Amino acid sequence: MTRFQAPKGVSEYLPPNSALFDRVLWNLQNVALSAGYQLIELPIFEDTELFTRGVGESTDVVTKEMYTFEDRGGRSLTLRPEGTAGVMRAVIEHGLDRGQLPVKLFYRGPFFRAERPQAGRYRQFYQFGIEAIGVDDPILDSEVIAIADRGFRRLGLKNYSLQITSLGDSESRSKHRQDFLSFLSKLNLDDETRARVQKNPLRILDDKREAIQKSLIDAPRLLDYLSDESRQKFEVLQQALTRLEIPFEINPRMVRGLDYYTGTAFEFVHRGLGAQSSIGGGGRYDGLMETLGGQSLSGIGFGLGIDRIILALQDEGLAENNPGYIDLYLVPIGEAARGISLPMIEKVRGAGFVADLAFGERSLKGAMKAADKLAARYVLVLGDDEITSGSARLKRMSDGTELSITLDSLVQALEQATAR
Protein backbone atom coordinates (compact mmCIF):
# COMPACT_ATOMS: atom_id res chain seq x y z
CA MET A 1 0.00 0.00 0.00
CA THR A 2 1.24 3.47 -0.80
CA ARG A 3 1.95 5.70 2.15
CA PHE A 4 -0.15 8.64 0.94
CA GLN A 5 -3.66 8.65 -0.40
CA ALA A 6 -5.94 11.45 -1.50
CA PRO A 7 -8.11 12.80 1.33
CA LYS A 8 -11.45 11.04 1.79
CA GLY A 9 -14.26 12.05 -0.56
CA VAL A 10 -12.39 14.17 -3.11
CA SER A 11 -12.89 13.80 -6.84
CA GLU A 12 -9.83 13.55 -9.08
CA TYR A 13 -9.47 13.24 -12.86
CA LEU A 14 -6.54 11.34 -14.29
CA PRO A 15 -5.89 10.53 -17.94
CA PRO A 16 -7.82 9.34 -19.90
CA ASN A 17 -10.83 10.57 -17.85
CA SER A 18 -9.32 14.02 -17.51
CA ALA A 19 -10.02 14.60 -21.21
CA LEU A 20 -13.72 14.07 -20.57
CA PHE A 21 -13.61 16.43 -17.59
CA ASP A 22 -11.99 19.07 -19.79
CA ARG A 23 -14.44 18.48 -22.62
CA VAL A 24 -17.46 18.91 -20.33
CA LEU A 25 -16.17 22.25 -19.04
CA TRP A 26 -15.17 23.38 -22.51
CA ASN A 27 -18.64 22.72 -23.92
CA LEU A 28 -20.46 24.38 -21.03
CA GLN A 29 -18.17 27.36 -21.26
CA ASN A 30 -18.80 27.78 -24.99
CA VAL A 31 -22.53 27.77 -24.47
CA ALA A 32 -22.21 30.49 -21.80
CA LEU A 33 -19.84 32.54 -23.99
CA SER A 34 -22.31 32.35 -26.88
CA ALA A 35 -24.87 34.12 -24.67
CA GLY A 36 -22.51 36.91 -23.61
CA TYR A 37 -21.39 35.60 -20.19
CA GLN A 38 -17.80 36.43 -19.19
CA LEU A 39 -15.34 34.59 -17.01
CA ILE A 40 -14.90 35.57 -13.36
CA GLU A 41 -12.07 33.83 -11.49
CA LEU A 42 -12.34 34.12 -7.72
CA PRO A 43 -10.49 32.98 -4.59
CA ILE A 44 -11.12 29.51 -3.20
CA PHE A 45 -11.41 30.88 0.34
CA GLU A 46 -13.37 33.87 1.59
CA ASP A 47 -14.30 35.43 4.93
CA THR A 48 -16.46 32.92 6.79
CA GLU A 49 -19.12 35.55 7.38
CA LEU A 50 -19.73 35.90 3.64
CA PHE A 51 -21.20 32.40 3.66
CA THR A 52 -22.96 32.48 7.05
CA ARG A 53 -24.77 35.65 5.91
CA GLY A 54 -25.09 34.87 2.22
CA VAL A 55 -25.95 31.17 2.22
CA GLY A 56 -27.95 31.27 5.47
CA GLU A 57 -27.31 30.27 9.07
CA SER A 58 -29.98 27.57 9.17
CA THR A 59 -28.71 25.66 6.11
CA ASP A 60 -26.89 22.33 6.35
CA VAL A 61 -24.12 23.85 4.25
CA VAL A 62 -23.36 26.46 6.91
CA THR A 63 -24.17 24.50 10.08
CA LYS A 64 -22.48 21.21 9.20
CA GLU A 65 -20.49 21.30 6.00
CA MET A 66 -18.09 24.23 5.90
CA TYR A 67 -14.32 23.84 5.94
CA THR A 68 -13.53 26.75 8.22
CA PHE A 69 -10.09 27.63 9.55
CA GLU A 70 -8.24 30.47 11.17
CA ASP A 71 -5.36 31.97 9.23
CA ARG A 72 -2.12 33.08 10.86
CA GLY A 73 -3.58 36.52 11.46
CA GLY A 74 -6.53 35.10 13.40
CA ARG A 75 -9.09 35.69 10.62
CA SER A 76 -11.81 33.13 10.10
CA LEU A 77 -11.74 31.86 6.52
CA THR A 78 -13.82 29.20 4.76
CA LEU A 79 -13.18 27.14 1.65
CA ARG A 80 -16.00 28.17 -0.68
CA PRO A 81 -18.95 25.76 -0.45
CA GLU A 82 -20.67 27.42 -3.43
CA GLY A 83 -20.04 30.22 -5.90
CA THR A 84 -22.87 32.75 -5.79
CA ALA A 85 -21.91 34.51 -2.54
CA GLY A 86 -18.32 35.04 -3.75
CA VAL A 87 -19.50 36.37 -7.12
CA MET A 88 -21.78 38.86 -5.34
CA ARG A 89 -18.95 39.91 -3.04
CA ALA A 90 -16.71 40.60 -6.06
CA VAL A 91 -19.46 42.41 -8.00
CA ILE A 92 -20.10 44.73 -5.04
CA GLU A 93 -16.43 45.21 -4.16
CA HIS A 94 -15.38 46.07 -7.72
CA GLY A 95 -18.55 47.94 -8.73
CA LEU A 96 -19.36 45.65 -11.66
CA ASP A 97 -23.02 46.49 -11.08
CA ARG A 98 -22.47 50.15 -12.01
CA GLY A 99 -22.26 49.44 -15.74
CA GLN A 100 -24.56 47.77 -18.21
CA LEU A 101 -27.10 45.41 -16.65
CA PRO A 102 -27.46 42.51 -16.44
CA VAL A 103 -23.90 41.71 -15.45
CA LYS A 104 -23.36 38.26 -16.99
CA LEU A 105 -20.63 36.11 -15.47
CA PHE A 106 -19.51 32.49 -15.51
CA TYR A 107 -17.12 30.57 -13.28
CA ARG A 108 -15.78 27.08 -12.82
CA GLY A 109 -13.62 25.37 -10.26
CA PRO A 110 -13.53 23.33 -7.06
CA PHE A 111 -16.00 23.77 -4.20
CA PHE A 112 -15.91 22.21 -0.74
CA ARG A 113 -18.55 20.71 1.51
CA ALA A 114 -17.81 18.32 4.38
CA GLU A 115 -20.59 15.90 3.43
CA ARG A 116 -20.72 12.15 3.98
CA PRO A 117 -19.01 10.92 0.80
CA GLN A 118 -20.88 8.55 -1.52
CA ALA A 119 -21.26 8.07 -5.28
CA GLY A 120 -21.84 11.54 -6.73
CA ARG A 121 -21.31 13.32 -3.42
CA TYR A 122 -17.83 14.58 -2.67
CA ARG A 123 -16.09 16.89 -0.24
CA GLN A 124 -14.22 18.57 -3.05
CA PHE A 125 -16.35 18.74 -6.18
CA TYR A 126 -16.43 20.85 -9.32
CA GLN A 127 -19.06 23.28 -10.51
CA PHE A 128 -19.65 25.30 -13.62
CA GLY A 129 -21.88 28.26 -12.81
CA ILE A 130 -23.33 31.40 -14.31
CA GLU A 131 -24.92 34.47 -12.73
CA ALA A 132 -26.95 37.23 -14.45
CA ILE A 133 -27.24 40.17 -12.07
CA GLY A 134 -29.32 43.31 -12.06
CA VAL A 135 -32.42 42.59 -14.15
CA ASP A 136 -35.57 40.96 -12.81
CA ASP A 137 -37.15 39.50 -15.93
CA PRO A 138 -38.61 35.99 -16.32
CA ILE A 139 -37.26 35.92 -19.89
CA LEU A 140 -33.77 36.17 -18.38
CA ASP A 141 -34.72 33.28 -16.06
CA SER A 142 -35.59 31.26 -19.16
CA GLU A 143 -32.24 32.18 -20.77
CA VAL A 144 -30.33 30.90 -17.75
CA ILE A 145 -32.27 27.63 -17.80
CA ALA A 146 -31.85 27.35 -21.59
CA ILE A 147 -28.06 27.69 -21.27
CA ALA A 148 -27.88 24.74 -18.87
CA ASP A 149 -30.20 22.71 -21.07
CA ARG A 150 -28.22 23.50 -24.24
CA GLY A 151 -25.01 22.58 -22.40
CA PHE A 152 -26.41 19.19 -21.39
CA ARG A 153 -27.72 18.53 -24.90
CA ARG A 154 -24.43 19.54 -26.46
CA LEU A 155 -22.81 16.84 -24.38
CA GLY A 156 -25.39 14.39 -25.70
CA LEU A 157 -27.31 13.91 -22.43
CA LYS A 158 -30.95 12.90 -22.83
CA ASN A 159 -32.08 11.07 -19.72
CA TYR A 160 -32.72 14.08 -17.52
CA SER A 161 -35.62 16.32 -16.62
CA LEU A 162 -36.04 19.91 -15.55
CA GLN A 163 -38.04 20.74 -12.44
CA ILE A 164 -39.13 24.29 -11.73
CA THR A 165 -41.02 26.13 -9.04
CA SER A 166 -41.46 29.64 -7.71
CA LEU A 167 -40.65 30.64 -4.16
CA GLY A 168 -42.49 33.93 -4.70
CA ASP A 169 -41.69 37.41 -3.42
CA SER A 170 -41.57 38.42 0.25
CA GLU A 171 -45.32 39.11 0.27
CA SER A 172 -46.08 35.57 -0.99
CA ARG A 173 -43.67 34.02 1.49
CA SER A 174 -44.91 35.88 4.56
CA LYS A 175 -48.54 34.89 3.82
CA HIS A 176 -47.48 31.28 3.40
CA ARG A 177 -45.20 31.38 6.44
CA GLN A 178 -48.10 32.10 8.82
CA ASP A 179 -50.20 29.18 7.64
CA PHE A 180 -47.18 26.90 7.37
CA LEU A 181 -46.02 27.68 10.93
CA SER A 182 -49.49 27.11 12.30
CA PHE A 183 -49.58 23.76 10.45
CA LEU A 184 -46.16 22.84 11.89
CA SER A 185 -47.19 23.84 15.43
CA LYS A 186 -49.67 20.95 15.39
CA LEU A 187 -46.94 18.42 14.58
CA ASN A 188 -44.95 16.57 17.17
CA LEU A 189 -41.45 17.86 16.44
CA ASP A 190 -38.28 17.49 18.51
CA ASP A 191 -36.62 20.62 19.95
CA GLU A 192 -33.80 20.74 17.42
CA THR A 193 -36.18 20.57 14.47
CA ARG A 194 -38.43 23.18 16.06
CA ALA A 195 -35.46 25.53 16.46
CA ARG A 196 -34.53 25.09 12.78
CA VAL A 197 -38.10 25.73 11.74
CA GLN A 198 -38.05 29.04 13.60
CA LYS A 199 -35.11 30.23 11.51
CA ASN A 200 -36.47 29.06 8.16
CA PRO A 201 -39.68 27.00 8.19
CA LEU A 202 -39.19 25.75 4.61
CA ARG A 203 -36.01 23.92 5.64
CA ILE A 204 -38.19 21.19 7.15
CA LEU A 205 -39.23 20.14 3.62
CA ASP A 206 -35.59 19.11 3.22
CA ASP A 207 -35.74 16.75 6.23
CA LYS A 208 -34.84 13.23 5.11
CA ARG A 209 -36.77 11.41 7.89
CA GLU A 210 -39.68 9.45 6.52
CA ALA A 211 -42.02 10.21 9.44
CA ILE A 212 -41.48 13.93 8.97
CA GLN A 213 -42.03 13.69 5.24
CA LYS A 214 -45.31 11.80 5.82
CA SER A 215 -46.55 14.41 8.27
CA LEU A 216 -45.93 17.14 5.70
CA ILE A 217 -48.08 15.70 2.93
CA ASP A 218 -50.96 18.11 3.59
CA ALA A 219 -48.79 21.11 4.46
CA PRO A 220 -49.77 24.40 2.76
CA ARG A 221 -47.80 24.81 -0.48
CA LEU A 222 -45.96 28.05 -1.18
CA LEU A 223 -46.97 27.84 -4.84
CA ASP A 224 -50.61 28.35 -3.78
CA TYR A 225 -49.72 31.61 -2.00
CA LEU A 226 -48.00 33.47 -4.84
CA SER A 227 -48.82 37.17 -5.14
CA ASP A 228 -50.30 38.26 -8.49
CA GLU A 229 -46.92 39.61 -9.62
CA SER A 230 -45.04 36.42 -8.69
CA ARG A 231 -47.68 34.23 -10.32
CA GLN A 232 -47.54 36.26 -13.50
CA LYS A 233 -43.74 36.01 -13.66
CA PHE A 234 -43.93 32.26 -13.12
CA GLU A 235 -46.42 32.01 -15.98
CA VAL A 236 -44.21 34.05 -18.32
CA LEU A 237 -41.30 31.74 -17.47
CA GLN A 238 -43.37 28.68 -18.32
CA GLN A 239 -44.48 30.17 -21.64
CA ALA A 240 -40.88 31.10 -22.46
CA LEU A 241 -39.67 27.56 -21.75
CA THR A 242 -42.47 26.13 -23.89
CA ARG A 243 -41.45 28.43 -26.77
CA LEU A 244 -37.86 27.28 -26.36
CA GLU A 245 -39.15 23.67 -26.53
CA ILE A 246 -37.59 22.86 -23.17
CA PRO A 247 -39.81 20.35 -21.35
CA PHE A 248 -40.28 20.95 -17.61
CA GLU A 249 -42.21 19.68 -14.62
CA ILE A 250 -43.50 21.86 -11.81
CA ASN A 251 -42.28 20.58 -8.47
CA PRO A 252 -43.95 22.59 -5.68
CA ARG A 253 -42.00 20.64 -3.04
CA MET A 254 -38.56 21.49 -4.35
CA VAL A 255 -36.22 22.63 -1.60
CA ARG A 256 -33.01 24.31 -2.52
CA GLY A 257 -30.25 23.79 0.04
CA LEU A 258 -29.28 27.47 0.22
CA ASP A 259 -31.35 30.25 1.82
CA TYR A 260 -30.96 33.08 -0.68
CA TYR A 261 -33.56 31.90 -3.22
CA THR A 262 -36.68 33.89 -4.12
CA GLY A 263 -38.95 33.58 -7.16
CA THR A 264 -37.82 31.09 -9.80
CA ALA A 265 -36.00 27.98 -8.54
CA PHE A 266 -35.02 24.99 -10.68
CA GLU A 267 -33.18 21.72 -10.71
CA PHE A 268 -32.01 19.36 -13.44
CA VAL A 269 -32.42 15.76 -12.34
CA HIS A 270 -30.73 12.84 -14.08
CA ARG A 271 -32.69 9.59 -14.05
CA GLY A 272 -29.68 7.29 -14.01
CA LEU A 273 -27.89 8.59 -10.94
CA GLY A 274 -29.72 7.22 -7.88
CA ALA A 275 -29.70 9.29 -4.71
CA GLN A 276 -27.43 12.15 -5.87
CA SER A 277 -29.45 12.84 -9.00
CA SER A 278 -29.30 16.63 -9.22
CA ILE A 279 -26.84 17.50 -11.99
CA GLY A 280 -27.44 21.20 -11.54
CA GLY A 281 -29.68 23.73 -9.92
CA GLY A 282 -30.21 27.38 -9.35
CA GLY A 283 -32.69 30.19 -9.15
CA ARG A 284 -33.31 33.83 -8.50
CA TYR A 285 -32.05 35.65 -5.42
CA ASP A 286 -33.65 39.01 -4.68
CA GLY A 287 -32.14 39.99 -1.35
CA LEU A 288 -28.64 38.52 -1.53
CA MET A 289 -26.82 41.55 -2.86
CA GLU A 290 -28.35 43.85 -0.27
CA THR A 291 -27.66 41.36 2.54
CA LEU A 292 -24.00 41.47 1.53
CA GLY A 293 -23.88 45.28 1.61
CA GLY A 294 -24.60 46.09 -2.04
CA GLN A 295 -27.46 47.72 -3.92
CA SER A 296 -30.86 46.12 -3.96
CA LEU A 297 -30.50 44.24 -7.23
CA SER A 298 -31.96 40.89 -8.15
CA GLY A 299 -29.96 38.13 -9.82
CA ILE A 300 -30.35 34.63 -11.18
CA GLY A 301 -27.91 31.82 -11.86
CA PHE A 302 -27.10 28.15 -11.66
CA GLY A 303 -24.38 25.77 -10.53
CA LEU A 304 -23.88 22.54 -12.50
CA GLY A 305 -22.11 19.59 -10.86
CA ILE A 306 -19.32 18.55 -13.22
CA ASP A 307 -18.63 15.30 -11.35
CA ARG A 308 -22.28 14.28 -11.61
CA ILE A 309 -22.46 15.27 -15.27
CA ILE A 310 -19.55 12.90 -15.89
CA LEU A 311 -21.36 10.11 -14.03
CA ALA A 312 -24.45 10.88 -16.14
CA LEU A 313 -22.42 10.70 -19.37
CA GLN A 314 -21.06 7.32 -18.24
CA ASP A 315 -24.57 6.15 -17.40
CA GLU A 316 -25.80 7.09 -20.88
CA GLY A 317 -22.81 5.42 -22.55
CA LEU A 318 -21.46 8.75 -23.77
CA ALA A 319 -18.21 8.86 -21.86
CA GLU A 320 -16.07 7.02 -24.39
CA ASN A 321 -17.09 8.61 -27.62
CA ASN A 322 -18.59 11.79 -26.39
CA PRO A 323 -20.45 13.53 -29.19
CA GLY A 324 -20.36 17.27 -29.35
CA TYR A 325 -16.66 17.95 -29.23
CA ILE A 326 -16.61 18.44 -32.98
CA ASP A 327 -19.91 19.18 -34.68
CA LEU A 328 -18.70 18.84 -38.27
CA TYR A 329 -15.69 17.19 -39.88
CA LEU A 330 -15.19 17.99 -43.54
CA VAL A 331 -13.35 15.58 -45.81
CA PRO A 332 -12.27 17.24 -49.08
CA ILE A 333 -11.36 14.89 -51.93
CA GLY A 334 -9.38 16.43 -54.79
CA GLU A 335 -7.93 19.85 -55.48
CA ALA A 336 -11.17 21.73 -56.17
CA ALA A 337 -12.65 20.57 -52.87
CA ARG A 338 -9.46 21.34 -50.98
CA GLY A 339 -9.60 24.86 -52.38
CA ILE A 340 -13.04 25.67 -51.00
CA SER A 341 -12.95 23.56 -47.83
CA LEU A 342 -11.45 26.04 -45.38
CA PRO A 343 -13.72 29.00 -46.33
CA MET A 344 -16.65 26.60 -45.93
CA ILE A 345 -15.49 25.41 -42.51
CA GLU A 346 -14.79 28.98 -41.39
CA LYS A 347 -18.39 29.88 -42.22
CA VAL A 348 -19.62 26.96 -40.12
CA ARG A 349 -17.32 28.01 -37.27
CA GLY A 350 -18.61 31.56 -37.55
CA ALA A 351 -22.13 30.24 -36.95
CA GLY A 352 -21.02 28.88 -33.58
CA PHE A 353 -20.25 25.27 -34.45
CA VAL A 354 -17.04 23.45 -33.71
CA ALA A 355 -15.73 22.34 -37.07
CA ASP A 356 -12.56 20.89 -38.51
CA LEU A 357 -11.36 19.36 -41.74
CA ALA A 358 -9.00 16.65 -42.92
CA PHE A 359 -5.78 18.47 -43.75
CA GLY A 360 -3.16 16.93 -46.02
CA GLU A 361 -4.01 14.60 -48.85
CA ARG A 362 -5.65 11.87 -46.82
CA SER A 363 -7.40 8.84 -48.15
CA LEU A 364 -11.15 8.73 -47.52
CA LYS A 365 -10.61 5.77 -45.20
CA GLY A 366 -7.94 7.56 -43.17
CA ALA A 367 -10.08 10.69 -42.91
CA MET A 368 -13.10 8.71 -41.71
CA LYS A 369 -10.93 7.11 -39.04
CA ALA A 370 -9.82 10.56 -37.91
CA ALA A 371 -13.47 11.68 -37.74
CA ASP A 372 -14.22 8.71 -35.50
CA LYS A 373 -11.28 9.42 -33.22
CA LEU A 374 -12.28 13.07 -32.91
CA ALA A 375 -15.83 11.99 -32.01
CA ALA A 376 -17.26 14.18 -34.76
CA ARG A 377 -21.05 14.32 -34.78
CA TYR A 378 -21.40 14.90 -38.54
CA VAL A 379 -19.13 14.26 -41.50
CA LEU A 380 -19.35 15.81 -44.95
CA VAL A 381 -17.39 14.32 -47.82
CA LEU A 382 -16.77 16.90 -50.53
CA GLY A 383 -15.56 15.81 -53.97
CA ASP A 384 -15.89 16.97 -57.59
CA ASP A 385 -19.43 15.54 -57.92
CA GLU A 386 -20.64 17.47 -54.89
CA ILE A 387 -19.11 20.70 -56.14
CA THR A 388 -20.69 20.30 -59.60
CA SER A 389 -24.16 19.47 -58.27
CA GLY A 390 -24.01 21.86 -55.30
CA SER A 391 -25.41 19.15 -53.05
CA ALA A 392 -23.91 16.63 -50.65
CA ARG A 393 -24.71 14.16 -47.93
CA LEU A 394 -24.29 14.98 -44.27
CA LYS A 395 -23.54 11.81 -42.35
CA ARG A 396 -24.59 11.45 -38.70
CA MET A 397 -21.82 9.41 -37.11
CA SER A 398 -23.85 8.00 -34.20
CA ASP A 399 -26.02 5.85 -36.50
CA GLY A 400 -24.76 6.38 -40.07
CA THR A 401 -27.94 8.20 -41.23
CA GLU A 402 -27.34 10.46 -44.24
CA LEU A 403 -29.15 13.75 -44.88
CA SER A 404 -29.24 15.26 -48.37
CA ILE A 405 -28.33 18.93 -48.24
CA THR A 406 -27.32 21.72 -50.58
CA LEU A 407 -23.85 23.15 -49.97
CA ASP A 408 -25.34 26.64 -49.64
CA SER A 409 -27.56 25.54 -46.77
CA LEU A 410 -24.90 23.67 -44.77
CA VAL A 411 -25.18 25.95 -41.73
CA GLN A 412 -29.00 25.72 -41.63
CA ALA A 413 -28.83 21.96 -42.10
CA LEU A 414 -26.45 21.67 -39.15
CA GLU A 415 -28.67 23.91 -37.05
CA GLN A 416 -31.65 21.68 -37.76
CA ALA A 417 -29.73 18.46 -37.31
CA THR A 418 -28.26 19.43 -33.94
CA ALA A 419 -31.49 20.87 -32.49
CA ARG A 420 -33.34 18.76 -29.94
Buried b (16+ CB within 10 A) or exposed e, 343-371: ebbeebeeeebbbbbbeeebeeeebbebb
Q: For residues 110 and 220, which CB has a smaller minimum distance to ligand HAM in the complex? A: 110
How many Å apart are CA 187 and CA 184, to the nearest integer? 5
CA dist 167 to 308, 324, 338, Å?
26, 35, 57
Residues 6+ away with beta carbon under 8 Å from 191: none
Q: For residues 108 and 308, which CB has a smaller minimum distance to ligand HAM in the complex? A: 308
Instruction: Catalog residues that contact ligand HAM under the rule CB under 6 A.
Output: 82-84, 113, 115, 120-122, 125, 127, 129, 131, 257-258, 278-283, 301-303, 305, 307-308
User: Containing H/E element for 379?
Assistant: strand 376-382
* In the complex, minimum distance from the CB of residue 188 to ligand HAM, in angstroms, rounded to a whole number: 30
Other residues' Cβ atoms within 10 Å of the Cβ of residue 8? 9
Q: For residues 280 and 332, which CB has a smaller minimum distance to ligand HAM in the complex? A: 280
* In the complex, minimum distance from the CB of residue 337 to ligand HAM, in angstroms, rounded to a whole number: 45
* In the complex, minimum distance from the CB of residue 56 to ligand HAM, in angstroms, rounded to a whole number: 12
* In the complex, minimum distance from the CB of residue 114 to ligand HAM, in angstroms, rounded to a whole number: 9
* In the complex, minimum distance from the CB of residue 278 to ligand HAM, in angstroms, rounded to a whole number: 4
* In the complex, minimum distance from the CB of residue 180 to ligand HAM, in angstroms, rounded to a whole number: 22
Q: For residues 259 and 356, which CB has a smaller minimum distance to ligand HAM in the complex? A: 259
How many Å apart are CA 34 and CA 30, to the nearest integer? 6
Q: For residues 271 and 369, which CB has a smaller minimum distance to ligand HAM in the complex? A: 271
How many Å apart are CA 119 and CA 138, to the nearest integer? 35
Residue nearest to ligand HAM according to CB distances in the complex: 305
As separate numbers, helices (DSSP H) first and strands (DSSP E) second, the chain gives 15, 16
